[in-house]
Structure 1
Amino acid sequence: MSAPTSYADRVDVGALVTTRVREPGQVARLAEARTRPTGLVGSTGRLMLVAADHPARGALGAGSDPMAMAHRGELLGRLAAALERPGVDGVLGTPDILDDLLLMGALEGKVVIGSMNRGGLAGTVFELDDRFTAYDAEQIERSGFQGGKMLVRIDPDDHASVATLEACARAVGDLADRGLMAMVEPFLSHRVDGRVRNDLSTDAVVRSAAVGAGLGRASAHTWLKLPVVDDMDPVLDSTTLPVLLLGGEVSADQEAQFARWKRTLTHPQVRGMVVGRSLLYPPDGDVAAAVDTVLEMM
């Protein structure tokens, strides 16, 4: 299958804007009427989500292109192409993106996870003060979505981390009260030359997973979203919570990346994947082929 020249050709941006201007209530009506999934996982017990919440944090790069995700029509077209593939269960995104996908009719029967704390803008001095500037639990429930995701970056040298921890703990509880998934994505982080870098050593990921699992006043609905590191056994041995693998950055050696994911998916704690840029902007440009390759591992 050859990739189209531009995925933006799949999206009528003018129609989306017109609806937003003339019928803004259509978003809520479509959310109410849409067919909802019967559960978080299918018969395989796995959950496959595509992620597109990066732009709201000002993180627009994919691979070697620092502005790859800046063209909204192109991004929406790539998301629609991924969501059409049999086996893709749903999507993770911010309100602007999920509202567009609702208007496009792309969320029927899909698991939809709302991204919650996007205030830690990439490259800013306040990046680790990751405030809740997108969804809250109330709106996720009102929209009929299946859960909310939060990023928890912990820098031992930055006081802002504790405010993020407290806010995320509150959100975990608010989602649990409503019977909704709390997807917690924890990292130990440090500033290197002024920029935030996540520590992907095995010990650091184990520690961050332990902290993330303990957030909130209930854990029954908490899932962890964790990066794939070289030695995943200690990471997965550290928790009994369901784990979703984080796809991470676009890799120049996609075959090696896929091989690591396949090995890790054999662990019983691992119940699926959340992949964004790696599938939406693959090196060869073919979204459908990249998605199908990952689905064969599930």
Structure 2
Amino acid sequence: MTTSPAPAAPAGPDLTDEQWTTLVRARATDPQAVAKAYAARTRPAPLLSQKDTLFLVAADHPARGALRSGPDPMAMADRRSLLARMVTALDNPEVDGVLGTPDVIEELLLLGALEGKVVIGSMNRGGLDGATWTMDDRFTGYDAASIATNGLEGGKMLLRIDDRDAATAGTIEACADAVTELATHGLMAMVEPLPYHREDDGSLTLLKDTPSLARAVTIASGLGTTSAYTWLKMPSCDDPETVFGATTLPCVVLGGVPSPDPAQDLDSWGRALVQATVRGLVVGRALLYPPDGDVASAVEAAAVVLRAAHAGEDAA
């Protein structure tokens, strides 16, 4: 019996041969180009856009070994395609910036795609997708010192909470330390607290019920010696009023695992975006790998939803 290969993601944008060749050559022959690119980057003046919103595209999934998007288990393994999709998304002036691990951020820097953009460095990617230790989200990427030295606007950390796994306590402590260290530098700490339930067979389920998400919000809000620079990154949910009402901290809605229906994702994000504490979107695969391959249109559709959600604030 033969197994049919998984369908590939629809063809999307691509880098030119010159862009790709120049990037790969720089990686091999000029490692100092990375430090030069960090130093030369034009930083955004305010963290928030003039509309007091923040719209980021995320690409820190591969560092955790999470390469699937939709039906294609290897979608994000094609680095040239991933970078081309990121560059296309960043070309939209309403996309404020990017969230990524050092490798992706540095490639985008070398491609000249991050001028004037917000850059948030991903800090802990040690809980590999599918590993027996997947909930052990150790810090393996940026740290607070490198984020400050390289002139980034902040750091993001994953805090998966499993009440049946004592190792969660270590992640909570590490995230608290990172929040404190980033605040010392006056930099954003973007915490992504996600509650999980472990079944007896070891499988994990993301809990999206209101009590679990609200509890996660309150845990993350109290991390570190100050919450002055803390933002929360949370999924959309059925009761956003209660979940996002559990904090005064600024929040962004994460895209999460894309559904087969992009309109359903947009509607879900829209319900969360109108909450008083919610300031924007951080979306990865749902915009970078849309079912039709049209990244530019997917990004613009998300921008429209974000604009509509905050139109009332502009008129107030």
* TM-score interval, smaller chain: over 0.9
Per the alignment, residue 279 of structure 2 pairs with 271
Matches within 5 A, 1:170-181: 170-181=177-188
CA displacement 1:4-39 (0-9 Å, x = unmatched): 944234463332121122111111111111110011
Matches within 5 A, 1:191-210: 191-192=198-199, 193-210=201-218
Per the alignment, residue 63 of structure 2 pairs with 56
Whole-Å separation in 1 of the counterparts to 2:159 and 2:279? 20
Q: Which of 80, 96, 104 in structure 1 is aligned with 2:111?
A: 104
TM-aligned CA deviation for residue 206 of structure 1: 0.3
One-letter code aligned to 2:147: I
Moved over 4 A (4+): none
Q: Which of 158, 161, 186 in structure 2 is aligned with 1:154?
A: 161
CA displacement 1:43-67 (0-9 Å, x = unmatched): 1100000000000000001111111
The answer to whether the aligner puts 1:211 opposite 2:219 as a matched pair is yes
CA displacement 1:53-87 (0-9 Å, x = unmatched): 00000000111111110100000000000000120
Per the alignment, residue 176 of structure 2 pairs with 169
One-letter code aligned to 1:258: L
Maintained 8 Å contact 1:16/1:100: yes
Q: Which of 26, 32, 45 in structure 2 is aligned with 1:19?
A: 26
* Gapped regions of structure 1 (runs ≥ 5): none
Maintained 8 Å contact 2:240/2:275: no
TM-aligned CA deviation for residue 119 of structure 1: 0.3
One-letter code aligned to 2:66: A
Per the alignment, residue 310 of structure 2 pairs with none
Maintained 8 Å contact 2:160/2:168: yes
Per the alignment, residue 76 of structure 1 pairs with 83
Maintained 8 Å contact 1:250/1:283: no
Whole-Å separation in 2 of the counterparts to 1:10 and 1:83? 16
One-letter code aligned to 2:48: V
Per the alignment, residue 231 of structure 1 pairs with 239
Per the alignment, residue 8 of structure 1 pairs with 14
Maintained 8 Å contact 2:57/2:284: yes
Q: Which of 214, 227, 230 in structure 2 is aligned with 1:222?
A: 230
One-letter code aligned to 1:269: T
Maintained 8 Å contact 1:123/1:196: no
**TM-score if structure 1 supplies the norm length?**
0.96
Q: Which of 150, 153, 156 in structure 2 is aligned with 1:143?
A: 150
Per the alignment, residue 186 of structure 1 pairs with 193
Per the alignment, residue 102 of structure 2 pairs with 95
One-letter code aligned to 1:128: M
CA displacement 1:111-144 (0-9 Å, x = unmatched): 0000000000011111111110000001111111
Maintained 8 Å contact 1:123/1:195: no
Q: How many residues align?
A: 296
Root-mean-square deviation (CA, aligned residues, Å) is 1.4
CA displacement 1:238-276 (0-9 Å, x = unmatched): 000001001111111211221121222111111001000
Whole-Å separation in 1 of the counterparts to 2:236 and 2:203? 22
Whole-Å separation in 1 of the counterparts to 2:272 and 2:176? 28
Whole-Å separation in 1 of the counterparts to 2:99 and 2:16? 20
Q: Which of 290, 298, 301 in structure 2 is aligned with 1:282?
A: 290
Maintained 8 Å contact 2:64/2:128: yes
Whole-Å separation in 2 of the counterparts to 1:291 and 1:58? 24
Whole-Å separation in 1 of the counterparts to 2:195 and 2:11? 39
Maintained 8 Å contact 2:13/2:295: no
SS at match of 2:146: helix
One-letter code aligned to 2:14: A
Maintained 8 Å contact 2:12/2:295: no
One-letter code aligned to 1:290: A
Whole-Å separation in 1 of the counterparts to 2:254 and 2:16? 27
Q: Which of 245, 256, 280 in structure 1 is aligned with 2:264?
A: 256
Per the alignment, residue 125 of structure 1 pairs with 132
Whole-Å separation in 2 of the counterparts to 1:14 and 1:167? 39
**TM-score if structure 2 supplies the norm length?**
0.91
SS at match of 1:297: helix
SS at match of 1:125: coil
